[in-house]
Amino acid sequence: MIHPTCTEVLATVQTAFDEQVVPHLADSEARSAAATIGHLLRHVALRIEQEGQILSDDIARLEALLGRIADWFDETRAADAQPLRAALVPALPAGRYPSLTLIGERALALRAALVAAQERLQEAAAGHGSEAGYTDLRAGIRDYIAAQLADEARLIAPAFQGRGPRR
């Protein structure tokens, strides 16, 4: 591990900013900007510590959900499952460290596949909308969206809520 860690560096910047800069700010606009900087420093620190796991969990949920949708498409012939199956092929190059950027790109690609799958499900609603398999998939999508929002709140709420105004 490289020392100091990124989290430690951010904590040092935050402390120096709070103790050396903020007390000397006279006008409300400068204090507002300083509050926003503090919020963002906390947000970045939380992301460094939690974003990798959050993205990994998100990818696992998406892969499971997309797999279920693809299976349903194959069983019912309601839509072509091949685009979903192609999206499920891991996209990280062999031997390459899965940086947050690469993991984020993977999650984004899977989310795009989910949006496309939702469009196909909407088209299938007329013929399959009352079937248990269809309604289960729609519930699975709602559950996924709820989990994604909860994950985002884990990164936002502790950094911003209860810590003064933000712009």
Concatenate the DSSP letters of all residues of 22-75 into one string: GGG--SHHHHHHHHHHHHHHHHHHHHHHHHHHHHHHHHHHHHHHHHHHHHHHHH
Q: Tell me the whole-structure pTM to 2 decimals.
A: 0.86
Distance CA 114, CA 90 (A): 15
Tell me how far the alpha carbon of residue 62 is from its chain's centroid: 11
The answer to whether 107 and 101 are in contact (CB under 8 A) is no
Convert 143-162 into a string of H (helix), E (strand) and C (coil): HHHHHHHHHHHHHHHHHHCC
Query: What is the chain's pLDDT, residue by residue, as a tens digit (167 residues)?
Result: 788 999 999 999 999 999 999 999 999 999 989 998 999 999 999 999 999 999 999 999 999 999 999 999 999 999 999 999 999 998 667 788 888 999 999 999 999 999 999 999 999 999 999 999 999 999 999 999 999 999 999 988 888 877 665 55
Between CA 31 and CA 24 the distance in angstroms is: 9
